[in-house]
Amino acid sequence: MSVSPAPLRVAVVGAGAMGADHVRRITTRISGAEVTAIVDPDTGRATAAAELAPGSVTFASFEEALEAVELDAVIIATPGFLHEPVILPALDAGLAILSEKPLSDTVESSLRIVEAEQKLARPHIQVGFMRRFDAGYLQLRELVERGDNGALLALHCAHRNPSTPPNYSESALITDSVIHEIDIVPFLTGEPIVSVEVKKPRRNSLAPDGLVEPQFVLFETASGTLAIVEISVNIQFGYQVTTDAVFESGVASIGRAETIQIASAGQIGQSVTPSFKERFGLAYDTEIQRWVDAAHRGEIDGPSAWDGYLASVVADAGVLAQQSGKKEPVTYAIEKPAFYETRQSLATAPSSATA
Amino acid sequence: MSVSPAPLRVAVVGAGAMGADHVRRITTRISGAEVTAIVDPDTGRATAAAELAPGSVTFASFEEALEAVELDAVIIATPGFLHEPVILPALDAGLAILSEKPLSDTVESSLRIVEAEQKLARPHIQVGFMRRFDAGYLQLRELVERGDNGALLALHCAHRNPSTPPNYSESALITDSVIHEIDIVPFLTGEPIVSVEVKKPRRNSLAPDGLVEPQFVLFETASGTLAIVEISVNIQFGYQVTTDAVFESGVASIGRAETIQIASAGQIGQSVTPSFKERFGLAYDTEIQRWVDAAHRGEIDGPSAWDGYLASVVADAGVLAQQSGKKEPVTYAIEKPAFYETRQSLATAPSSATA
Amino acid sequence: MSVSPAPLRVAVVGAGAMGADHVRRITTRISGAEVTAIVDPDTGRATAAAELAPGSVTFASFEEALEAVELDAVIIATPGFLHEPVILPALDAGLAILSEKPLSDTVESSLRIVEAEQKLARPHIQVGFMRRFDAGYLQLRELVERGDNGALLALHCAHRNPSTPPNYSESALITDSVIHEIDIVPFLTGEPIVSVEVKKPRRNSLAPDGLVEPQFVLFETASGTLAIVEISVNIQFGYQVTTDAVFESGVASIGRAETIQIASAGQIGQSVTPSFKERFGLAYDTEIQRWVDAAHRGEIDGPSAWDGYLASVVADAGVLAQQSGKKEPVTYAIEKPAFYETRQSLATAPSSATA
Amino acid sequence: MSVSPAPLRVAVVGAGAMGADHVRRITTRISGAEVTAIVDPDTGRATAAAELAPGSVTFASFEEALEAVELDAVIIATPGFLHEPVILPALDAGLAILSEKPLSDTVESSLRIVEAEQKLARPHIQVGFMRRFDAGYLQLRELVERGDNGALLALHCAHRNPSTPPNYSESALITDSVIHEIDIVPFLTGEPIVSVEVKKPRRNSLAPDGLVEPQFVLFETASGTLAIVEISVNIQFGYQVTTDAVFESGVASIGRAETIQIASAGQIGQSVTPSFKERFGLAYDTEIQRWVDAAHRGEIDGPSAWDGYLASVVADAGVLAQQSGKKEPVTYAIEKPAFYETRQSLATAPSSATA
């Protein structure tokens, strides 16, 4: 009679909406992990999050947590510019790391993280691109890999938010929103993005003063696959993410159907999810569960720090393209290290893929 | 710093396909529980299931398991006629019990179980009607409760399986298959079923010799809501469960859309799930997680033994209606005991509801 | 250089909404016909309709029209009890006849018409069951005939109207509304209906006082195909006609999709047609065009008086079944005369089939 | 008693597939017109087409037809470079003219036609952009005009053909295929196109040697509305035309649903139309009927020669953009003459809009 593995002891750094959501998730829905420490300089937020996780302790800084409690892993849900100061000591401590996107706020910082990680024997960092765990994207990638309809030639992507939070800037269209497509295009195609261009159609008058949106962002991958991403962030009606993938002999679409259809008052239709939480809630669950499972095996099973670095380079070029109005090349400072060669497993597609 | 609750120690009785699936589920996807014992007189099946759960021990009988290891809970996944012999000692031992449907194989046995349970201070038994945890059915029930479109007047249900296992009998159409609608109709309407009638259309020539199907089963609830259930069990194309709910001023439909749409070879469409496992896999996950969570609180959070008893009474009347060709009344031997008055919570609708 | 055939000179009898619609249709959208006479004792209605058709003349009675102008054909759009007094002289005059449904108001009258028609050399009467010209029903019948998915075993039909006109009676549920399914079931299956039964679920409180609806009407055909028809006539949200056809190895559905989808205000969906005119407007166009084309050839190309007689027998049994609450057999007084053996052509499926 | 108007006497010039289709359409489905002359230097084709239209006569040239028979109207279905030699004498003869797209093969020729037409008292030429008569596009334009969801900001268009005829060139992607979107974008937005740019993604290996496709064509209108058109012409699976219109507070989609849904062999889905004839057959019917109706009134009721000229200017810029890889401005040589100010009526939306 062997013994069940002890739960992964996780620190959650950042107790805002996303961090608190992860605390709740790990405590109530994730197997094999428990929240041991909650780190936030805002004591009120930290305490509120701790109430969701019996047995957790709050700290004002990650260093204090590292010293005070035994940790196996850390989830980082702070703003991007605060990621590196947590990731580097977490690497030193040999923790399993899940960093919410972006990996860091600058290409330089991302590169430092990638270099620091390579001093370890194996990758420890996973980046929180949760769409890779969404049933639709997984089915789409399987379709690309099976090649049933030939090669993938182009992608029409739409990424629509009902409204923007205060202080949302034009560059955030790329770095906060399109960053998900920046990750998912290479995930689907198996190829890096090599150029980016931005088109600005007629402005939505419902956007806050000064914000020029929607925008269309055009990405090319190494083999020429073209991805055209509509980013709309004040479209009111709901949160909607769709992809139509154009293959040589077919087209596949995701994100266009919901569970229940209602005929009422002259209309037959479906609800649209109000925010990313409802649309991708299950993907977050799957992401965290697989990260926990992999941590028990001493692995990662999701987008790596290298993927995070790639995304930061493309996002930089995208912001430049917003300003220049031209097609901007994407140039990576270094080749992909062999350290990162292992590809994310798709074998354990979650049961959610068929829900 | 409090301590995380110890995992629920679960015995899984019956190591066939369903039992093994639950072992895998608890071990890899469920938080707060672990499989401690696996019970099956077939040593090979027991051992195979035990390999899925590190730390689990196999036993040939539930009695042996009860004596040998500390248990908090039991999942029963044997054929229905073997449920009572496990449930009664499990009640004596004060375990949390999840019985796969049906609660038992006869109305009399179901009644004995309900009576035995009432000797305890609170309900301990949950019955495995997993559709109550499916996002679609939950959304439909919310719609009924909100009353946006007036009262629910009628339900068109279709329950389609690609093919039948060997020895599947005509009565199994009711007791194995339509049993899910027998549970879900009261769940949706909040009312008991009061009559049942069976119509037999033209026979499917692809059914095994002697099996007369499809059949249409008509249920009436106390207020007159009519549910018409098509049960088809050799329809080849896949596993499909749909419901169209007719309200006073609208109609709601579930089960008609899947995640990815593919245009290929002259067709645009979606895959149909091949079996109940893919269609309701996520509902099983949610069911078990909520059962585990409630067990930690000393509660149940799903269909009760009383619901199981009700279903067995309706199923009995349904089998009679298959034979008589007439509308058969459904008569319950006892009133609902106050013991079972607490209604299943819908408050903690799973995140899957919006995926 | 041959000469184009002269347009069919048509009298329209009955200048209410339906008659006026046919006047407009023939004048503006139908090739090879013109409205010559408009018959209505209500002079105002007749004159209003005549303004839609340049060159048409109004009459207070069909006899006057027959005497005054040269006619090739007549469309009858009066209430059913007024059909026979027009059909019989029109047969005597050898006109091509299109009678709106029902053929007549009683089985006896329908039978008299069928007998009178057989004194002619060939069928002259077509009955206005326009669904036979709807793209969806045509595709469904083709699917039945091709047998791709085996035999047709059962049909789930829903027939929903937003509200009822004044004085709509319970029997009208059968004789005015379900009459369309009474025609379409034999059209799809190629078999007569042999029994009918009515189930009354919980009453819609939005129905006018005294009207018990919705109702479910169950039809069996000769080979046992079961058609279950939901008739709802005060369901508010719109006019919707759907059919799910259960085959041995597949299911086909019509009436569930519309042209444009709109995402707005938290919903993504489609408009529902407000009335039968929008839903079946194109079917009416096709029906009339094919009737005109066939009249030029000296044929009919649609449901015959025999089909009208069959429908009236089934409707009679349906009204009886509403009252008796039992399954009522449908008995036809006579065998199908050889005179009516020619089956309606499906070869010239309208271009609308693919719109 | 007034007299019905005599049918419009139509010459069809060009008896290839499209011309023959129009002959069949006018003869069998269109009210108020008849084919009097069929013109084609290929006697076999002319004779074959004439067999479809009783009373029609064949001619080797349009001049011969003009001299030999009385004509009211002409439909031109020859290759574009042969349009001007028919249009100019037809204008001289005062005929109602329907020219299949393009109006002519060069901008210069189009301009000559526009100038010649203005010598008449009113427009006589309609161009065969049939999509303006498609129910989906009409509903979309109504939505733009009603402004329910604010201004139209962007359009995602997909235009997919299963395969190309022999000798289909890269410029034909613009001049033969995208020409429909070139017309429909101003139709929907009410604004001219001011720039065009072409993006070439990874090439479809199923395209004939030398043909680089798919391509994405980006159009900007005067107010900045961006239309992105995917043109794929060897995508095998069928003919599919979809549009997703992005408004300030909503999205509308057309072309994504068909009439019948079939669940069979693990799939649930719909047929895709094999060619433009099935997809737009009804739009052609409506186009021709409204052209005939307007001709009887001495008007045109569809896209004018001016629309044809605009399209030819944009197509020219598009072909340039294919070669340059840059955004090309679209410059119109002349302002819109007051002669063309009357806007196409939408009031008489066809009944097909709701089928």
Contact B235 C251 (CB under 8 A): yes
Long-range contacts of C171-176 (CB under 8 A, 24+ apart): C171/C319, C171/C322, C173/C213, C173/C215, C173/C231, C173/C233, C173/C322, C174/C217, C174/C315, C174/C318, C174/C319, C174/C322, C175/C80, C175/C102, C175/C315, C175/C318, C175/C319
For B84, phi and psi rounded to 5 degrees?
-55, -45
Segment C30-45 mean pLDDT: 95
Model confidence over B146-189: pLDDT tens digits? 998 999 999 999 999 999 999 899 999 999 999 999 999 999 99
Interchain proximity A269–C270, CB inside 8 Å: yes
Per-chain mean pLDDT for chain B: 92
Q: What percent of chain D has pLDDT over 70?
A: 94
DSSP A289: H
DSSP code, position A248: S
| Mean pLDDT of the region D180-187 | 97
What average pLDDT does range B42-47 have in this prediction?
97
For residues D244-253, average pLDDT: 94
Asked if the model's pLDDT at residue B4 lies above 90, the reply is: no
Which residue's entry shows tokens 């939408």? D346
CA distance linking residue C324 with residue C316, whole number of Å: 12
Q: What are phi and psi of A112, to 5 degrees?
A: -60, -40
Confidence of residue A2 (pLDDT cuts 50, 70, 90): very low
pLDDT digit string (tens) for A82-98?
Answer: 999 999 999 999 999 99
Whether residue B154 and residue C230 make contact (CB cut-off 8 A), yes or no, is yes
Residue C158 has a pLDDT of 97
What confidence category does residue A259 fall into, taking pLDDT thresholds of 50, 70 and 90? low
D127: confidence class by pLDDT, cuts 50, 70, 90: very high
Q: Which residues contact A146 (CB under 8 A, 6 or more apart)?
A: none
Give the global pTM: 0.89
CA dist list (Å): D223 to D142, D151, D194: 19, 10, 9
What's the pLDDT at A29? Answer: 85
> pLDDT grade, residue B355 (50/70/90)?
very low
The confidence score (pLDDT) of residue B342 equals 66
Asked if omega into D41 is within 30° of 0 (cis), the reply is no
- Chain D residues touching residue A236 (CB < 8 angstroms): 248-250
Task: Give the confidence band of D353 by pLDDT, cuts at 50, 70, 90.
Answer: very low
With CB atoms and an 8 Å threshold, state whether C150 touches B202. Answer: no
Across the C/D interface, how many CB contacts are shorter than 8 Å?
A: 159
Determine what percent of chain B is predicted with pLDDT higher than 70. Answer: 94
Under a CB-based contact definition with an 8 Å cutoff, are residues C126 and C302 in contact? Answer: yes
Interface list for chain C against chain A, based on CB atoms closer than 8 Å: 236-238, 240, 258, 261, 263-272, 274
Task: List chain D residues with CB under 8 Å of B263.
Answer: 237-238, 240, 272
Please indicate whether, in this complex, the C-beta atoms of D251 and A228 are within 8 angstroms of each other: no
pLDDT at C265: 79
Q: According to the model, what pLDDT value does residue C342 have?
A: 67
Residues 6 or more apart from D50 whose CB is under 8 A from it? D23, D38, D56, D57, D58
How confident is residue C347, by pLDDT bands cut at 50, 70 and 90? very low
Closest by CA to C37, choosing from C20, C50, C27, is C50
Q: What is the CB-side half-sphere exposure of residue D79 using CA atoms within 13 A?
A: 2
The torsion angles phi and psi of B229, rounded to 5 degrees, stand at -115, 120
Q: Which residue among A2, A55, A149 places its CB closest to the CB of B2?
A: A55
Taking contacts as CB-CB distances below 8 angstroms, the residues of chain C near B249 are 206, 235-237
Name residue, tokens 């349970």: B117
Task: Return d(Cα C287, Cα C310) in angstroms, integer.
Answer: 20
| pLDDT for res D109 | 97
Residue C289's closest chain D neighbor by CA? D29
Mean model confidence pLDDT for chain C: 92
Domain B135-279 CATH class label: alpha beta
* CATH for the stretch A132-280: 3.30.360.10
Nearest chain C CA: its distance from A243 CA (Å)? 16
Could you say which of B158, B248, B256 has the minimum Cβ distance to residue C206?
A: B248
Of A236, A264, A268, the CB nearest to C270: A268
The stretches of chain A forming alpha helices (DSSP H) are 17-28, 43-50, 62-68, 84-92, 107-117, 135-146, 170-172, 179-189, 276-296, 305-324
- Spell out which residues of chain B touch residue C194, defining contact as CB-CB under 8 Å: none
- Phi, psi at C4, each rounded to 5°: -60, 145
Position B198 pLDDT exceeds 60: yes
By CB neighbour count within 10 A (0-12 exposed, 13-18 middle, 19+ buried), where does B105 fall? middle
Chain C residues closer than 8 Å to D135 by CB: 259, 355
Which of A339, A342, A330, A341 lies closest to A115, judged by CA?
A339
Q: What does B95-154 look like in DSSP terms, one character per residue?
A: -EEEEPSSS-SSHHHHHHHHHHHTTSSS--EEE--GGGGSHHHHHHHHHHHHTTT--EEE
Chain segment C69-109, per-residue pLDDT in tens: 999 999 999 999 999 999 999 999 999 999 999 999 999 99
Neighbours of C340 (CB within 10 A): 17
Residue B166 neighbours by CB distance under 10 Å: 5
Contact list, A214 vs chain D (CB under 8 Å): 153-154, 246
Q: Are the beta carbons of C261 and D256 separated by less than 8 Å?
A: yes
- Give the pairing type, strands D73-76 and D57-59: unpaired
- Quickly name the fold that domain D8-131+282-305+325-354 has: Rossmann fold (3.40.50)
Residues from C contacting B (CB-CB < 8 Å) are 149-154, 156, 158, 160, 199-206, 214, 216, 218, 220, 223-226, 228, 230, 232, 235-237, 240, 244, 246-251, 256
Q: Answer yes or no: is pLDDT of D311 > 90.
A: yes
The pLDDT-based confidence of D256 (bands split at 50, 70, 90) is confident
Does the beta-carbon distance from C268 to A258 stay under 8 Å?
A: yes
Residue A31: which of B31, B253, B353 has the nearest Cβ? B31
How confident is the model at residue B5, as a pLDDT?
67
Search chain D and give the residue with CA nearest C245. D262
pLDDT band at C29 (very low <50, low <70, confident <90, very high): confident
Indicate if the pLDDT at residue B349 is higher than 70.
no
The CATH homologous superfamily to which domain C8-131+282-354 belongs is NAD(P)-binding Rossmann-like Domain (3.40.50.720)
Chain A CA closest to residue C240: A263
Burial class, D82, CB count within 10 angstroms (exposed 0-12 / middle 13-18 / buried 19+):
middle
Tell if the CB–CB gap between D237 and B269 is shorter than 8 Å: no
How confident is the model at residue C258, as a pLDDT? Answer: 61
Contacts of C270 in chain A (CB under 8 A): 267-269
Q: Would you tell me how many other CB atoms lie within 10 Å of the CB of residue D47? A: 13
Q: What percent of chain A has pLDDT over 90?
A: 83
- For testing contact with chain A, the best of C256, C268, C270, C275 (most A CBs within 10 A): C268
| Helical axes C305-324 vs C179-189, angle rounded to 10° | 120
pLDDT value at residue A127: 97
ipTM of model over 0.95: no
Q: What is the pLDDT of residue C344?
A: 54
Taking the C-alpha atoms of residue B246 and residue D339, their distance in angstroms, rounded to an integer, is 56
Lowest mean pLDDT, pick from A178-187, A281-290, D9-18, D253-262: D253-262
Q: For residue B317, what pLDDT band results from cuts at 50, 70 and 90?
A: very high
Confidence of residue A144 (pLDDT cuts 50, 70, 90): very high
Segment among A302-311, A342-351, B28-37, D228-237 with least mean pLDDT:
A342-351
Q: Which of B177, B142, B138 minimizes the C-alpha distance to B157?
A: B177
Nearest to C323 by CA among C197, C221, C151: C197
pLDDT cut 90: percent of chain D above it? 84
Q: Where are the alpha helices (DSSP H) in chain C?
A: 17-28, 43-50, 62-68, 84-92, 107-117, 135-146, 170-172, 179-189, 276-296, 305-324
Domain spans of chain A, in order of start: 8-131+282-354, 132-280
pLDDT above 70 for A344? no
Is the model's pLDDT at A347 over the cut of 50? no
CATH superfamily placement of domain C137-276: Dihydrodipicolinate Reductase; domain 2 (3.30.360.10)
H helices of B224-351, where? 276-296, 305-324
Task: Give the tens place of pLDDT for each residue, C194-227.
Answer: 999 999 999 999 999 999 999 999 999 999 999 9
pLDDT for C5: 67
Instruction: Give the other-Cβ count within 10 Å of B206's Cβ.
Output: 15
DSSP line for D67-111: HHS--SEEEE-S-GGGTHHHHHHHHHTT-EEEEPSSS-SSHHHHH
Mean pLDDT for D330-338 is: 95
User: What's the confidence (pLDDT) of residue B353?
Assistant: 28
